[in-house]
Amino acid sequence: MAAGRHRGPPVPGGRACAAGGAVMADSAAEGLYSRQLYVLGGGARRLSGAAVLVSGLRGTGAQVAAALVLAGTGRVVLHDRGEASVADRAQQFLLRESDIGQNRAEASRRALAELNPGVAVVAYTGELSEAFLTSFQQSPFTAQAHVVVLTESPLEEQIRIGNFCHAQGICFIVADAKGLAGQLFCDFGEHFIVNDPAEGEPVCAAVKHISKGNPGIVTCIGMEGSRGHLFSDGDLVTFSGVEGMTELNGQEPVPVQVMDAFRLKIGDTRSFSRYRCRGLVSQVRLPQVHSYKPLSQALAEPKIQVANPEELPRSRSLHAAFQALHAFREEQGRLPRPRAPADAERVLELARSLAMQPGPLDEDVVRAFASVSAGDLCPVAAVVGAVAAQEALKAITGKFLPLDQWLYFDALECLALEGVTQLTEEDCVPRGSRYDGQIAVFGAAFQELLGRQKYLVVGAGAIGCELLKNFAMMGLAAGPEGHLTVTDMDTVALSNLHRQLLYRSADISKPKSVVAAAAVRRMNPDVRVTAHQNQVGPATEMLYGDDFFRHLDGVASALDTLEARAYLESCCFRYLTPLLDSGTEGPRGNVLAMVPHLTKLLGPASAPEDHTFPVCTLRYFPHTIQHTLQWARDEFEGLFQLPAEHVNRFMADPAFPEQLPTGKAVEVLEQVWRSLQERPRDWQDCVRWARRHWQSCYHDAVAQLLHTFPPEHEVRPGVPFWAWDRTCPHPLIFNPNNDTHLEYIMAAAHLFAQSHKIPPCSDRASAQTVLRSMVLPPFVPQEGFQIHLGEEQEEVPADGERLQELTRDLRQQRQELIRGEEAQVPLMEPIHFEKDNDIHIDFITAASNLRAESYSIPAASRLMSKRIIGRIMPAIITTTAAVAGLACLEVYKLVWGCRDLSCYRNSNFSLSDCLLLRFQPPPSSVYWYCGQEWSCWDRLEMRAVNADGEEMTVQNILDWMQRTHGWTVTMLLHGFTVLYDSGENEGIRALMQKQRLSATLGNAGEPQQRVLKLEYVCEEEDAETEATRPPLMCFLP
């Protein structure tokens, strides 16, 4: 999902800062939280002024607290009266061995304070009295929102504190994880305002025409790359910037009715003026008011949220089971013993006695829940804690609909695994181990099996960090025979820190995999982990080939590109290795399990959006902010990267243009000539250059376009040239006091100075002084100027004389520079665009918005510009934690070697509306080939070794296919390399047949491999109906 399509980014509606809280005001903080801001929108500014109390610092509480600290919550108060134990370390990832015996809140505070120095983390070890809660609400830290989260409280305490919070207007959350099940409850008071209930930014579209009629018909085109609009029936919209039918501008929101992808119906427009041009139609999301019952009432009258109605009876049974568990603990002073039938039956009796729910009680669910309720599993705590943390963020930000009011989650299907069903009470008794919580569910023998696992984690980003944290807690690869490999090519960046748990500010620029592996060892010194800094792809098949994959028990994918995911899936298919693929996009996540011979192959994901645009659109006729941003990105490369690269190359090798076509050589040398002519002496020269370039782009080029195609120009009589997706622009007049104008000058001058190795300056006043002193010549239009309207790239004409002239002049300048004392090698510094570089984004934003102003396109904020041009996916810690927890539940099943498809689960969830859908993966697909049914996992396997130990030839393989399957192969391929083609002439066929496989592939330049996946075509197949064939796997000596 990481590479899927999304509607658009939320843009913060302001900036805020609170003393003692995480600062969201400066560009450094924006760089830190940018991916999260795209999820939470304008409500994110409230985070720095919020206070949250998290009570209970075992697994669930640690996950809640860590997510809130990473998100930048202003003040997080940790409460726990218990001491850290050895068993806590099966799920409490904040604790170290030295913390055993210390107060959990104090020990956790030290670890959490390191996660985000901008958050005030406080520990409290006293009683949760009304006096304390009152002081929490009225503390000197002036909080804009207060939230209380209880994770380990008995029911009596939950009710008492819940009633107090409801009366005082404090948002209240209960999050509890027991064994393989979790419970979540939210009470945000009787008058909670949701400012923005939906994901993404409100949609908008550019108006192209509005008819006079009843109803009026609005013709529009989408913004930000969408061809059509994205409105739905009933959406409320407003209009702005409409010329002609100005009565629509500033009106109260009106509902629309969708006609098609380009037309909307609105109200009666007959009395309005005639539409002339321009305008923007924008969706309006009105705040919603929601009311919630206190816990004391909601227990007896539960509103339980489910993904589909079929899940409701199960959730109601879990509702009764959790209450019965509280009653059992009150009665016995302990939780039910693992796998103790008498205890489970007593919980069931208590559940029956509650008798509150409509419909029958699912007694099997209650028994299963009770039998492992003493267990503590890191993956379950991760899921429940992540969802609870997102609800706390909703309470603070007013973004997304809160849970209404109960949610139940379980993975009790794990208890149906072969081997788990036979576990006894003796198998699950505590051993005094850090894994006792896990042993309570799966037994001691399973823990040893976990320790022997060999896993590969590909990607150490947000999901990868959470997976590795969970693996450390679970003890995966923590035994003598186990091994965990993590590989990632990237280094830690500032923007990673708010959602990638294992990294700190001191780790910036260090290899992610190395830092992550070290963090895993600190969490669990027994885990045998190795860090690689490689991409898993065709270039590294010698590293990640047959020997590597055949020793693996499983692969966990935490990749963010479709190409990388597809390649990893092909490797797991080739080597029959289980794969867990996880992805996120904003508040949405999914987990897919691929189990050999059991599930369907994952298959290709949806194709990414095409980010290319016609050249003429970018150059002359932009009509969306997407177009102006891409134009600005091209400007960046054309001004600050390519000229420097060409100058440096010419200085090193003046003959290099001879290798280019004449037209391209002239273009490159013209660029070199301009760069040398424009060499600045100081910062002031850079400001002057930026001002001249501003004039060229935003005034002269537009004026020339309008001179060639005036506003009244017609394609033919009655058909205006400036219509539909051609918006007539207007030249801009420079104003040194205009913020956008000055921001462009400062960013452009900075980059120009950097590319010429001159120290840049940030003094805006001195730049304005230089700008006011400049007098530029008036614009003089060129007659007969040709403007290319086609979509293909314009080609520079091949002017041989001009090429000779440029070459001669530039060689002379080169000699003068080499002789000069000031010459540096290289002469210029090419600047490559970086989406997290503030100056780069400043230039892109200003350049784009100036062009947008000229073409009457609504401007984009700096944050939105950064997301679009950097192709940044919205991301938040809560989603990644939840997706990793769900993936690790599937790891349990893989470790057991489960061959029952009904036990596995794929997952789709959306934290924005608190919906979680877990379902059985589709079974392996089947097809027919040559009169036989085949599974998608079936393959033909052969050892490509003759009796004499020599590698087989192509003819040997053809003979084997004929002998073993009775198929006559007419074509044999490895990828795009043709090994045999019966259509060739006899001489070529004979040459192909006697070649050995490795020699043929080596001649084709393919890397050496020991396992080859060959494709073929046979005479016996029906080409029209049998497009799929079982691959031929050849194992070379």
Nearest partner of 407 among 294, 314, 288, judged by Cα: 314
HEC per residue, 508-547: CCCEHHHHHHHHHHHHCCCCCEEEECCCCCHHHCCCCCHH
Rounded to the nearest 5°, which phi and psi values hold at 952?
Answer: -70, 155
The beta strands (E) that lie in 791-913 are given as: 906-910
Report the candidate in 181, 351, 235, 389 with the shortest Cα–Cα distance to residue 881.
389
Contact between 859 and 640 (Cβ < 8 Å): no
DSSP secondary structure letter of residue 557: E
Half-sphere exposure at residue 686, Cβ-oriented, CA atoms within 13 angstroms:
27
- List the structure tokens of 367: 């028994």
Enclosing H/E stretch for 746 = helix 739-755
Angle at 50 between CA 48 and CA 54, to 5 degrees: 120
Q: Would you say the C-alpha torsion 91, 94, 98, 100 has a positive or negative sign?
A: negative
Show which residues are catalytic: 616
Strand order in the sheet with 263-265: 254-255, 236-240, 280-284, 204-210, 217-222, 263-265, 257-260
How far is Cα 871 from Cα 866, in angstroms, rounded to an integer? Answer: 8
Please check whether residue 483 is in contact with residue 507, taking contact to mean a CB–CB distance below 8 angstroms.
no
**521 token code pair:** 């060892």
Long-range contact set of residues 426-430: C-beta below 8 Å, sequence gap at least 24 = 427/339, 428/338, 428/339, 429/338, 430/87
Q: Work out the number of other CB atoms within 10 angstroms of the CB of residue 832.
A: 11
Of the candidates 882, 878, 840, 884, the one whose C-alpha atom is nearest the C-alpha of residue 862 is 840
In a 3-state reduction of DSSP, which class is residue 228?
Answer: coil
Mapped onto helix, strand or coil, the DSSP state of residue 175 is strand
Q: Give the count of alpha carbons within 13 A of 167, CB side only.
A: 10
Q: How far apart are CA 315 and CA 294, in angstroms?
A: 20
